[in-house]
Amino acid sequence: MSKKSACFSLKSVANYKLMIALTTLISASPAQAQINVMDIDNQESMGQVTSVNQLSDVSPTDWAYEALRSLVERYGCIVGYPDRTFRGNRALSRYEFAAGLNVCMQSIERLIGTGGVGEEDITALRRLIAEFETELATLGARVDNLEGRVGFLEENQFSTTTKLAGEVAFTLADAFGGDVTNPLTGVREDFNAQATLTSRVRLQMSTSFTGNDVLFTRLTAGNLGNSFGSQTFTDEGRFAYDGQADNNVTLDRLHYYFSLTPKTRVFTMASLGGHHFYADTFNSGLESGGGAGGALSRFGERNPIYRLGLGGQGIGLRQQLGDSFELSAGYLARGGNNPADGRGLFNGNYSAMGQLVFKPSDKFKLGFTYINGYDPNGAGSAFNFGGTGTRFGNLQGLGLNGIPVSSNSYGVQGQLDISPKFSLRAWGGYTNARLIDTGSAEIWNYAAALVFPDLGKEGSLGAIIVGAEPYLTGLTLGGVDQTFTKDTPLHVEVSYKYPINNRISLTPGLIVLTAPNQDSGANDPIYIGTLRTTFSF
């Protein structure tokens, strides 16, 4: 018997029920040895049995009791399921029987040298070896073939520590509307947008050095730009995966995560830092981290306050506190790689976050978030919600350029999975922005989402999202309340991700902006329709 065959049987079969058949064929009558063989699809991890009495579903009255006891006590080749059952009525194939025979052969070979096996058993074993000679040879050939394939993969693989994943998204989209007001000229004009076919490509390498860490290195290219932002004059409704232009390839994500303790995870971000990379955002399936498989819009991915400070360098921490609580904390600095005065990690823009998560069950979780930020409002350091919200909500178009902003943001968000095919999510965010030596501003956002996993097909995802992207509700300058339009800019988004197969999915959807730039009088509703095709490899 070859060592390879024994190794294969131990790893791939380990099904002790066929040991009943082995002992039965050795010591039982021919009538008892008639076994109905069938393929077994599912196998579970088992453990070595040292006494037949450890098997809870085997009793001395069972016809195979003595056979089992013999295998345990004489040959030591019986194993049991984790729940200490034997499940002896389960059928097996000839190949599985041969693999089990192989296991006992190894044990018996060791006993032959010590005289622990009788001549009668040896004769019966020889008969079995002859009967299953073909199957035993096939098992050995399979192992040789597998070892050859593994050797080839090891010699030709990209890296022993790195996994490469790719994603390509084609987006066919168009936007429609009545009139919009150009904030640069103040002139109301016809909404004019053309149908587009755009793309975004990502290649991400995930490297582990210790088995408990991961280094993310991601290359991104695309030609979406700011979606239809130049035509709508607002960041509302921008696609979740836009931002890249002219198909220039950039190294947009460089992160390293590791576990400090079993309950403490550390996240270091040298490029494209974001609070959502280390903190729970309560929107699984739709929260894709900018990937092309989640929500259509940036707003639909998560509470926009998580986007404060997005794009810088920093560190995050996630700490488990018992079974029901989790604490996340982090610090980001846009321009943290720039040593110039007024930049760097601690002398320019920053965003510090703390979040407490309460998760009493697998179906419900609730989070409370606080973010303190500072934006000098210079080049590359302006206050903004990361490509979401109205112009006023991002403190644009108010004559505040160059005025530093110190902000405090508060968020409440939750997720309730009512059933495996229906989930309810909701969030609310409030930001109080202090305009240094000038005044203050109040900004709100909120949303509710109905999510339908496996809608019509396994792997699909339907979603309805209704809310308001960040919009300005109050502005005080020099102690005087300012007058401006405060219409609620509702965002309505409907999408349905349909998987063609495991690698290709189609996502048709529609985004409706009822009062762009929080001004229904100056802007008619805007409709953005899209068909996204995603390829994953």
pLDDT tens-digit map of 12-54: 333 334 444 444 444 433 333 333 333 333 444 445 566 767 7
Strand 439-453 relative to strand 325-333, pairing: unpaired
pLDDT tens-digit map of 479-497: 999 999 999 999 999 999 9
pLDDT value of position 73: 65
Average pLDDT over residues 342-367: 95
Phi, psi of 499 (to 5 degrees): -80, 120
Q: Any idea which of 74-78, 267-271, 311-315, 497-501 has the lowest mean pLDDT?
A: 74-78
First to last CA, the chain: 42
Average pLDDT over residues 185-208: 94
CATH for 204-494 is 2.40.160
CB-count exposure of residue 284 (10 Å: 0-12, 13-18, 19+): middle
Query: Is 117:62 a contact under the CB 8 Å cutoff?
Result: no
Place 3 in a pLDDT band, splitting at 50, 70 and 90. very low
Average pLDDT over residues 301-327: 96
Tally Cβ neighbours within 10 Å of residue 344.
17
> Quick check: 158 pLDDT over 70?
no
Q: Mean pLDDT score of the chain, rounded to an integer?
A: 84
* pTM of the predicted protein model: 0.73
Tokens of 380: 């590359």
pLDDT value of position 77: 64
> Quick check: 103 pLDDT over 60?
yes
More confident site: 381 or 310: 310
Using CA atoms, how far apart are residues 139 and 14, in angstroms rounded to an integer?
Answer: 14
Longest dimension (CA), the chain: 105
Using CA atoms, how far apart are residues 453 and 450, in angstroms rounded to an integer?
Answer: 10
Using CA atoms, how far apart are residues 18 and 25, in angstroms rounded to an integer?
Answer: 11
Average pLDDT over residues 238-262: 94
Using CA atoms, how far apart are residues 169 and 532, in angstroms rounded to an integer?
Answer: 7
Where are the chain's structural domains? 3-156, 204-494
Q: 365: helix, coil or strand?
A: strand
The beta strand positions in 54-133, using DSSP E, are: 79-80
Q: Any idea which of 107-116, 242-251, 286-295 has the lowest mean pLDDT?
A: 107-116
CA 5 to chain centre: 38
Phi, psi of 318 (to 5 degrees): -125, 120
CB-count exposure of residue 412 (10 Å: 0-12, 13-18, 19+): middle
> Quick check: 262 pLDDT over 70?
yes
pLDDT value of position 35: 34
Using CA atoms, how far apart are residues 508 and 176, in angstroms rounded to an integer?
Answer: 16
Query: Is 475:444 a contact under the CB 8 Å cutoff?
Result: no
